[in-house]
């Protein structure tokens, strides 16, 4: 009998053998890629666990399909299902144009307080890439998902709100901006709690997955009390909560000031030899250079919302583009998680059975790992890697590869399943 995934009192997940998992099929190419992906998930679970385990899929509505059937882009029952069943998966959704909901994805993240946007970027051999050594890219991005300028607190130029804020700034804070009547206003909020829970999750991940470093990526040289504070709070989490397992560049800096650079370097070497995770920081613009110049130097990345948006796509491009980049939105405290294809609905290609289902398939792999169903997750990942290595691929990769065989979305799923 189908059962609910739940959070145990000790913070671990209770995963029944027959969990109910809500899914949103998605708009545009969503149905094509979902139909391919769900066959892969079911066959993998069957192959690795026989009759002992099975997922019961529960469709919930969002996006165009929801609007057509209920008149609501994001019906309350959908949110309720994700809240009740804890773990879900979704295809891409059309962003409604006009008033009301700004973005369905943002609404889901906000409602469930899914504060981590998790984006692993790993290269699968054979995948077309614009860089010479895509195999050097193996990073996991922890992007803060609820705060920052990205939270969308903004007011149009000439609006009463924009005028009031500017009048307050001029009158109370002595901040005058030149073009007040024609200036839109956006507000950047970064909190200690929001920063710390994100960096905490990144460090915890590095410990669990035995990764050597966590890089805090920020623009704190310019935005000192938001991005700079994010870095500071990140180092504090490491030093206060993970003192036995991490060494921070904040500590290195203090040792350098007290005892000189050589002593600081020696301290860091000792920490590395002891297997400690190095928690370092880097300015965001430099980071975007370094991922091209020295990607091997980075493993886990912790960053704010807007930086994370840019970084995720830049790294995804290096390992094969949005057709293959998976993602998840997670609240590690409540256990709520929604796994998702990171690309959009590509509406021109809807119902063509031609697009790449790898992004949603690998998101499902992340979900299986989150449930602790590691054998099925590994099995799918290996079979997908093998399928790409054999150059049997969908059109996006086919166009960039030599001697490849073109597969439809459904055939790509068949090719994976054959390899189990």
As a residue count, the chain comes to 420
* Alpha carbons 151 and 165: distance in angstroms, whole number: 17
Residue of the chain from 20, 78, 105, 146 that contacts ligand NAD (CB under 6 A): 105
Backbone angles phi, psi at 57, to 5 degrees: -85, 135
The C-alpha atoms of residue 40 and residue 415 are separated, in whole angstroms, by: 10
Q: Between 83 and 408, whose beta carbon lies closer to ligand NAD?
A: 408
Whether 150 is catalytic is yes
As measured in angstroms, the least distance from the Cβ of 416 to ligand NAD is 15
Residue among 411, 302, 288 nearest 33 (CA): 411
Asked if 78 interacts with ligand NAD (CB under 6 A), we say no
Nearest to ligand NAD of 299, 325 (CB atom): 325
Question: Residues 217, 277, 301, 346: which binds ligand NAD (CB under 6 A)?
Answer: 346
> How far apart are CB 324 and ligand NAD at their closest, in Å?
8
Q: Which is nearer to ligand NAD, 246 or 345 (CB)?
A: 345
The torsion angles phi and psi of 417, rounded to 5 degrees, stand at: -60, -40
Q: Which of residues 70, 72, 95, 180 is near ligand NAD by CB under 6 A?
A: 95
Assigned token pair, 171 = 């009158």
Footprint of ligand NAD on 383-402 (CB under 6 A): 396
Q: Maximum CA pair distance of the chain?
A: 70
Q: CB neighbours (10 Å) of residue 79?
A: 16
Let me know if 219 is a catalytic residue.
Answer: yes
> Would you call 56 helix, strand, or coil by DSSP?
strand
Distance separating alpha carbons of residues 397 and 412, to the nearest angstrom: 12
407-408-413-417 Cα dihedral, nearest 10 degrees: -50
Which residues inside 313-332 make contact with ligand NAD, applying CB under 6 A? Answer: 322-323
Helix (H), strand (E) at residue 22: strand 20-24
| DSSP designation for 283 | E
Which one from 42, 113, 136, 309 is the annotated catalytic residue? 309
Name residues contacting ligand NAD, limited to 26-65 (CB under 6 A): 29, 33
Please say which residue, 212 or 344, places its beta carbon nearer to ligand NAD. 344
Q: Give the binding-site size for ligand NAD (rule: CB under 6 A).
A: 18
Which one from 124, 150, 205, 370 is the annotated catalytic residue? 150
The yes-or-no answer on residue 309 being catalytic is yes
Among 78, 146, 356, 363, binds ligand NAD (CB under 6 A): 356
The Cα–Cα gap between 135 and 280 comes to: 23
The Cβ of residue 127 has, within 10 Å, a number of other Cβ atoms equal to 21
For the beta carbon of residue 240, count every other beta carbon within 10 angstroms. Answer: 9
- Binding residue for ligand NAD, selected from 343, 384, 388, 415, defined by CB under 6 A: 343
Cα dihedral 285/287/293/299 (nearest 10): -170
Q: How far is the CB of 394 from ligand NAD (least distance, A)?
A: 6
Give the binding range for ligand NAD (CB under 6 A) out of 135-143, 354-362, 385-393, 399-407: 354-362
Distance of CA 217 to the CA centre of its chain: 15
The span of 92-100, 189-197, 210-218, 374-382 binding ligand NAD (CB under 6 A) equals 92-100
The answer to whether 181 is a known catalytic residue is no
The residue among 257, 198, 185 whose CA lies nearest residue 227 is: 198
Both tokens of 351, joined, read 């119902």
Q: Which is nearest to 126 in space by CA: 409, 395, 390, 399?
A: 390
Residue closer to ligand NAD, measured from CB, 250 or 323: 323
Q: Counting contacts by CB under 6 A, is residue 344 touching ligand NAD?
A: yes
Q: How far is the CB of 349 from ligand NAD (least distance, A)?
A: 6
The window from 34-42, 155-163, 307-315, 338-346 that contacts ligand NAD (CB under 6 A) reads 338-346
| Min separation Cβ 169 and ligand NAD, Å | 32
Q: Are 288 and 314 in contact (CB under 8 A)?
A: yes
- Taking the least distance from each CB to ligand NAD, the nearer of 124 and 235 is 124
Give me 161's structure tokens: 């709100």
> Cβ distance 41 to 6 under 8 Å?
no
Check binding of 359 to ligand NAD (CB under 6 A).
yes
Binder to ligand NAD among 22, 88, 92, 126 (CB under 6 A)? 92
What residues make contact with ligand NAD under the rule CB under 6 A? 29, 33, 92-95, 105, 322-323, 340, 343-346, 355-356, 359, 396
- Annotated binding residues, written as ranges, equal 94, 103, 105, 109, 119, 143, 309, 356
- Annotated binding residues for Mg(2+), written as ranges, equal 309
Catalytic residues, by residue number, are 150, 219, 285, 309
């Amino acid at each position: 009998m189908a059962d609910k995934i739940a959070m145990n009192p000790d913070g671990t997940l209770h995963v029944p053998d027959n969990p109910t998992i809500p899914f949103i099929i998605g708009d545009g190419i969503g149905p094509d890629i979902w139909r391919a992906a769900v066959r892969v998930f079911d066959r993998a679970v069957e192959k690795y666990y026989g009759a002992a385990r099975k997922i019961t899929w529960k469709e919930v509505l969002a996006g165009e399909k929801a609007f057509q059937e209920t008149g609501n882009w994001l019906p309350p029952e959908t949110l309720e299902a994700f809240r009740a069943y804890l773990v879900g998966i979704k295809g891409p959704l059309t962003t409604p144009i006009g008033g009301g909901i700004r973005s369905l994805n943002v609404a889901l993240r906000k409602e469930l307080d899914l504060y981590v946007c998790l984006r692993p970027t790993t290269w699968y051999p054979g995948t077309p890439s614009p860089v010479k050594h895509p195999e050097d890219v193996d990073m996991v991005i922890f992007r803060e998902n609820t705060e920052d300028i990205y939270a969308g607190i903004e007011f149009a130029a000439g609006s009463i709100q924009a005028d009031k804020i500017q009048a307050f700034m001029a009158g109370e804070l002595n901040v005058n901006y030149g073009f007040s009547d024609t200036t839109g206003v956006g507000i950047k909020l970064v909190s200690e709690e929001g920063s710390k829970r994100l960096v905490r999750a990144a460090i915890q991940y590095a410990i669990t997955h035995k990764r050597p470093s966590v890089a805090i990526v920020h623009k704190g040289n310019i935005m000192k009390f938001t991005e700079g504070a994010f870095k500071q709070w990140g180092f504090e989490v490491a030093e206060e909560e993970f003192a036995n397992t991490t060494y921070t560049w904040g500590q290195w800096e203090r040792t350098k000031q007290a005892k000189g650079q050589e002593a600081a370097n020696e301290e860091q070497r000792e920490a590395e030899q002891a297997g400690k995770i190095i928690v370092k920081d880097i300015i965001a613009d430099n980071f975007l250079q370094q991922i091209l110049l020295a990607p091997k130097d980075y493993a886990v990345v912790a960053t704010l919302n807007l930086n994370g948006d840019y970084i995720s796509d830049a790294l995804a491009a290096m390992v094969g583009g949005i057709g293959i980049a998976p993602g998840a939105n997670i609240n590690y405290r409540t256990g709520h998680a929604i796994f998702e294809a990171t690309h959009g609905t590509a509406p021109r290609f809807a119902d063509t059975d031609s697009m790449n289902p790898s992004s949603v398939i690998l998101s499902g792999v992340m979900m299986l790992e989150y449930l602790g169903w590691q054998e099925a997750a590994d099995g799918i990942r290996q079979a997908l890697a093998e399928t790409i290595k054999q150059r049997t691929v969908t059109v996006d990769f086919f166009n960039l590869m030599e001697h490849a065989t073109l597969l439809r979305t459904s055939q790509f799923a068949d090719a994976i399943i054959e390899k189990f």
